[in-house]
Amino acid sequence: MKKRVLVSAVAASALALSGMAQAEVKIGFLGGFTGGIESLTPPIFDGANLAVEQINAQGGLLDGQDIVMPTGDTTCSDASAASNAADRMVNTEQVTAIVGALCTGATVAAANNAAIPGGVTMVSPASTAPAVTELDDNDLVFRTVPSDAFQGEMLAKLLLEKGLEEVAVTYVNNDYGRGLSEAFVTAFENGGGTVLDDLAHEDNRADYRSELGSLAATGAETLVVLAYADTSGQTVVRQAYESGMFTQYVGGDGMVGDSLVEAIGADVLDGMIATRPGSPELPGTDMFHQQAEEAGIDPSAVFAAQAYDATFLLGLAIEQNGSADREGLNEALRSVASAPGEVVLPGEWEKAKELIAAGTEIDYEGASGTQEFDASGDVPGVVQEMRVEDGTFTIQGYVDADE
């Protein structure tokens, strides 16, 4: 009798554990929790988590399964760390999909070494370099942020409009820095500006005075720094200021972090100009801002809206696909992101779930844009002008691509 009871108890426990396993769908998050963007990553993760919380609160996925989001640290700059984190997601955590990575090199490493071989769909909210477009990815790698081919053009246009016609450029020597620099320099020179020097630097070094000396010797007063706010970008700007070499600092999206201002000083960086991918003025943008503020999240944090969209889209794709299987998810992602279809906005999970169940096509228009993926998995976008005022990066408006 005791043996029969024990067997029954074991069977019941196994059944309970099986039920628990079926009650979850895993979407992994790969981010730079340490390294060059460690101060930018937490609010990006918050944006992703907001989508998870909304989906779980409004009926969950499929037959009521909750999304859980295991995380992995890519360090931003270490390809081995990115590959190992992705391998854990794909082969140990058995995630259905991945939000991330954030830095381009991490996304490329994670995709090539784990996600693509494992058939896992990735959606990056922050990898902006053109190298992502060029991946041989079996249509598995997408992003909710426009390419730096566009941001570089808009940064060049902005500076020329402000009368800054001569600049020196230094960029972090990786996919992100090289891609953004190439796009910026080409557009700046085509627009009539002069790049007096364009110099690469390695990340995570303590001293950039040699590179800065070469850049300053050109006579440039404006220094464009295309790097990261928490590592080389911060050190470059600090040492440039300490040496009294330049009068104007400019950055790309990787420099838009208040940690930079706090580390160097609001008085030093007052008036610094930067650009970052932004969100167009659409109904979904306003809805996300309200929902984020209610959740205690900063809706204007760099890439937070894009991370929300990446996560919500993957949830919609899993629902559309009808299972937590990896196969077919990329096609489902394209379907829910594209017209035609009934428009679904941020937070409207219950509505979307009902439409999908009824066999109605949907078209998600998100927190950071319409998210219409092209053949390469890229999206159109807008670029915001940022300026340091009163000790913080503040939005000045959009850089108009049509003028």
Domain of 393, CATH number, reads 3.40.50.2300
Q: What pLDDT score was predicted for residue 20? A: 43
* Cβ 349 vs Cβ 371: under 8 Å: no
How far is C-alpha 142 from the geometric centre of its chain's CA atoms?
11
Residues 289 and 304 grouped into a single domain: yes
Residues 324 and 218 grouped into a single domain: no
Residues 196 and 271 grouped into a single domain: yes
Residue 17 lies in a domain: no
Distance (Å, whole) CA 175 – CA 234: 19
Q: What pLDDT score was predicted for residue 401? A: 79
Residues 86 and 96 grouped into a single domain: yes
Residue 371 lies in a domain: no
Q: What pLDDT score was predicted for residue 10? A: 39
Q: What pLDDT score was predicted for residue 16? A: 41
Consecutive 10-residue averages of pLDDT for the chain (403 residues): 39 41 86 95 98 98 97 96 98 98 97 98 96 96 94 97 98 96 98 98 96 97 97 97 96 95 96 94 94 96 96 98 98 96 98 98 96 94 95 94 66
Residues 163 and 119 grouped into a single domain: no
For residue 304, what are the domain limits?
A: 25-147+282-364
Q: What pLDDT score was predicted for residue 177? A: 96
Distance (Å, whole) CA 356 – CA 352: 6
Q: What pLDDT score was predicted for residue 9? A: 43
Q: What pLDDT score was predicted for residue 24? A: 95
Spell out a b/e string for 242-257, using b for 16 or more CB atoms within 10 Å of the CB, else e: eeebbebbbbbbbbbb
Residue 157 lies in a domain: yes
Residue 6 lies in a domain: no
- The label of the residue with tokens 């041989």 reads 136
Residues 232 and 257 grouped into a single domain: yes
Residues 248 and 388 grouped into a single domain: yes
CB count within 10 Å of CB 347 equals 22
Residue 8 lies in a domain: no
Beta-sheet strands, E only, within 14-111: 24-31, 66-68, 71-73, 97-99
Residues 29 and 59 grouped into a single domain: yes
Q: What pLDDT score was predicted for residue 15? A: 39
Q: Hey, which residues does 172 pair with through a beta bridge?
A: 201
Q: What pLDDT score was predicted for residue 78? A: 94
Tally the domains of the chain. Answer: 2
Residue 201 lies in a domain: yes
- The label of the residue with tokens 């069977």 reads 11
Residues 301 and 197 grouped into a single domain: no
Residues 158 and 212 grouped into a single domain: yes
Residues 6+ apart with CB under 8 A from 275: 151, 154, 155, 158, 251, 252, 253, 383, 384, 385, 386, 399
Residue 20 lies in a domain: no
Residues 390 and 270 grouped into a single domain: yes
Q: What pLDDT score was predicted for residue 380? A: 87
Residues 346 and 386 grouped into a single domain: no
Residue 10 lies in a domain: no
